[in-house]
Structure 1
Amino acid sequence: MSKRPNILVIFNDDHGQWALPTYGNCELRTPTVDALARSGAVFENAFTPVPVCSPARACFMTGLLPTQHGVHDYLNSAEAFNGRDWLRGVTTLPELLQASGYYTGLSGKWHLGQDFKPQPGFDDWFALAGDYPIFHRDANRFCDNGRLHAPEGYLTQLIADRTVAFLRDRPKDQPFFHFTGFYATHSPWEDQPERLVSLYKNASFSDIPSAERVFEGEIKNIELPEADDAQKRRAKAQYYAAVTAIDEGLGRILDHLDATGTLDNTLIVFTSDHGLCLDHHGIWGKGNATSPQNMIEESIRVPMIFAGPQVPAGVRPTVFADHLDLFQTLTSVAEVTPDNRLYAGRALWSVMHDPGTTWRECQFGEYGTARMIRTETHKLITRLDHRRETLFDLRDGEGQNLIDSEHAIASELRARLRAHFSQFEDHPPDPEEFFGPPRFNPVEAWR
């Protein structure tokens, strides 16, 4: 039997880093994630490479930036988007693991096209299938290894149950890789179990600061276009309930691993595709909640927690980490070699064990025509469509655009940003895609 560890990835949707007690939230109840964090490594400065669903997921699955894999925006349910094989020609993480002897599975959200049929690299496939938007307790359609059907029940519970079924029925002579794509924290923020919503009916939501507007552009709030104070409170209570529902689903999965003696040899990763503003800065949504796209901290910061074999307990690395690093970390532990491409990420094992490891000094990101470089103290966002640049001193939050005053800092960061992305220009974004005639209605389409 292989000595390589099993790998379980919990990949949530729209789950901001701020929305967990292990990152400082004082009102949320997540005992399972809390225990996971105590037993493993919590990355304090974890980011998404792009603050919207599909390209962020493609970054994790391929280890490549959007300028390399070519997915620059979320994909709606129209045939022109969901019907296309977006990752053709790119070997994905599940394909690498499957070819090396891992038994592989997915339950929940895929969102990279053609979710109505099993995708390459997966032995077991239970994916939300093309009928968008998705709801949390209605009968959503799934592709179950090629069969389309709509099981009833709470979506989070269905996804957790299928993960447990995968663990129960898998071949026991192979290591496994499972991607559990929970959806609960995505809008619409309604229809979570009332027993969980009631936990937060009197919450202060003090971990959602009432900050002044920092974005120089149009705030679209496509997730919650218009709402009074009471509606906003209900939406926040539903979101908090969704986080607790995910925690319960994770607990069910870990209990099964524990009961079957598999937990000690399973590497667990808990993360999300990107962050979310839940009225932070007056914004409801992520990178596409504004025009032009934003790279606000709440949109780009994600949870990233490791537990299991080779992971030291109780460490909290402060280095920059993202999904590109996560890809490299998992290929490393699985002892597989990615394709002969230029990868921006690095395996995170060294920084878990040695805080003195030399690491990159900047975090990079992109979304459409926006490109970001972030240091410990400053963040610069440039735009390929020549819209106004943004420079923030992060020690002052993101309260003032300094682009017209801090010329030396902006010039230095701009040069480093260009040098970085000059290495990865396989599929640069087309500004017409983002600022020409709209290709779909962002309010009506699934985000």
Structure 2
Amino acid sequence: MPESPNRRGFLRTAGGAALAASGAVRCFAEPARSDRPNVLFLMTDEQHHRSLSLTGNPYVRTPNMDRIGREGALFENATCVTPYCSPSRASMITGVYPHTHGILQNVSPGRNGQPPLKHDAFPNTECLLHDQGYATAFRGKWHLGDTGDFLCYESWGYASQKPGEYNRLLEERLPAAQFKDDQDPGRYLGRPVEKIRAIRDAWQPFQEVAKNVGYIATIGRSVVPPELLPETQITNQVLDLIDRHKEGSFMITASWSPPHDLWVIPEPYYSRVDRGKVKLPGTTDLPQWDQGGPSKRLGDLVGPDGLREYAAIYHGMVKYIDDQLGRILSRLDDLGLADNTLVLFTSDHGDMVGAHGCVGKSLFSFFDDLVRIPLLMRFPGRIKPGTVVTQPVSQVDYTPTVLDYLGQPAPGKIHGRSMRPLIEGRRVDWRAYAFCQRAANSRMLRTDRWKYVIRSKPRILALYNLEQDPNEDHNLAGDKAHASTLRDLHARLLDVMTKDGDPYLKDFPRDPLG
């Protein structure tokens, strides 16, 4: 089954066929106003865990994201299952790790690409609720194949249902022909992107070394106004869905791609952050496996000015999405649905935002910038305002948690657990670690103090003392003084892999230093 291209191609071209794989709604006759709770699952792509003002962002205010956390729960130690889009998204809706659901890379068409998530392989949160009579809908970035294969969805594009529908809207309002004399490379929605000199100078050199990810050097100011952006259309569609299903019970997902690349945003968001006030994190040496990767190469080519430009735009994109989220929360208020709606906000993984001199996420490492994610939940009357959960939680916990609050049983044989006991402050035996993986051959185990990473082939190790080195600047894996700690963490990782039925356990050594 072919998958539609993802948002990157959609944003770089004006062609109507370039639509990202995303989602839809499966509608049916609904009864009168239901007392059953609704669910709004709101997510971004590639959002840093500290990009909210609630979690310490000094550059922009995010009052709507903050509102969810202040009126509900903030999870301080939420971690993705992998810093890849598709595998994380599959784990969010199935409750199992990538090594089990089988989506190890981003879903892509072609004989050698990652196949999509099969509709009947694992229970899907929204399909389970659809079976219980819920109206279920998905708008935005799906990234798991064709939503039309799932009984709870219909086929839908990133910003519109029919191929070309969004592009026709854009062409009517902002004809591409008016920019025909602009020959600057790197476009957004088929329209020019205004770039500062540091970005322009890096464009061609990066194309020569970046292979198939040269597009990420498209960084700058867009001529497409906010009201015409595809993410604004996604929000419009979600508002319409809420209006249509306000008398019944629904689970609606809004999945916006920003602040994922392309790092392009129009005014007023482009100028929201003063570049002179952007503080770049330290640029210490990267592990060997990342030194030649595209994230570091682009960071080196654009230099400090380019890194500040990218970071400022990134935060402007976060602000834009916060405004979109605010429109949805206001609609719940206006319709009197807020008190009976569980709202969950999260992201699939993080972004370096200039840390270690890197742009984006194209690394093999498991830095906290990449693996920690924002997670907020609000459910008036069930979740106490101002709740802070400090235990490590994972994307595999989303499905059982949502179902628990809706009084539905979780599927059997999943890795996730309901976070409700943690939210309610009950004493419970909970995992004291975060687990993360990359494809088949890399694993991470994170505790309060330590982070341990192993790549099986070729053998590469990393060990960080997070208490003394929170920015992960100093890899202690080669320090004999920490050999015992490394071996202990490795043994613990193997225990986790065994317990969770990781089929790639056989590829990892018993002694990492042997």
TM-score bracket relative to the smaller structure: 0.7 to 0.9
Deviations 1:85-116 (A, max 9, x none): 5454212111111111211001100001125x
Compare CA radii of gyration and give the structure with the larger one.
Answer: 2
Amino acid at match of 2:309: R
Cα RMSD for the two superposed structures = 2.3
Match of 1:112 in 2: 144
Please state whether the residue corresponding to 1:71 is helix, strand or coil: coil
Q: Is contact 1:94–1:177 with CA below 8 Å preserved after alignment? A: yes
Moved more, 62-71 or 31-40: 31-40
Question: Which of the pair is proportionally richer in helix?
Answer: 2
Q: Is it true that 1:361 corresponds to 2:440 in the alignment?
A: no
The 5 A counterparts of 1:21-420 are 21-78=53-110, 81=113, 84-114=116-146, 118-123=148-153, 126-128=156-158, 142=160, 144=161, 147-151=162-166, 152=170, 153-170=228-245, 172-173=247-248, 175-190=249-264, 192-202=265-275, 204-206=277-279, 208-219=280-291, 220-222=293-295, 225=298, 226-286=301-361, 289-290=362-363, 293-309=364-380, 310-341=382-413, 343-354=414-425, 356-368=427-439, 369-395=441-467, 396-397=469-470, 398-404=472-478, 405=480, 406-420=482-496
Moved more, 8-17 or 119-128: 119-128
Q: C-alpha distance in 2, partners of 1:362/1:53? A: 22
Q: C-alpha distance in 2, partners of 1:223/1:401? A: 18
Please state whether the residue corresponding to 2:325 is helix, strand or coil: helix
Q: How many angstroms does 1:119 deviate by? A: 3.9
Deviations 1:58-85 (A, max 9, x none): 1101100011000111123547647745
Distance 1:357 1:337, change over 3 A: closer
Unaligned runs of 5+ residues in structure 2 are 1-32, 171-227, 508-514
Unaligned runs of 5+ residues in structure 1 are 129-139, 432-447
Amino acid at match of 1:199: R
Q: C-alpha distance in 1, partners of 2:114/2:443? A: 26
Distance 1:274 1:238, change over 3 A: same
Q: C-alpha distance in 2, partners of 1:276/1:392? A: 19
Distance 1:282 1:87, change over 3 A: farther
Q: C-alpha distance in 1, partners of 2:304/2:283? A: 16
Moved more, 308-317 or 332-341: 332-341
Q: C-alpha distance in 1, partners of 2:118/2:103? A: 7
Deviations 1:168-191 (A, max 9, x none): 112623x1101110112011101x
Deviations 1:344-372 (A, max 9, x none): 22111111121654421111111111111
Q: How many angstroms does 1:214 deviate by? A: 4.1
Distance 1:336 1:306, change over 3 A: same
Q: Is contact 1:188–1:223 with CA below 8 Å preserved after alignment? A: no
Q: C-alpha distance in 2, partners of 1:223/1:94? A: 38
Q: Is contact 1:45–1:319 with CA below 8 Å preserved after alignment? A: yes
Please state whether the residue corresponding to 2:354 is helix, strand or coil: strand
Amino acid at match of 2:308: R
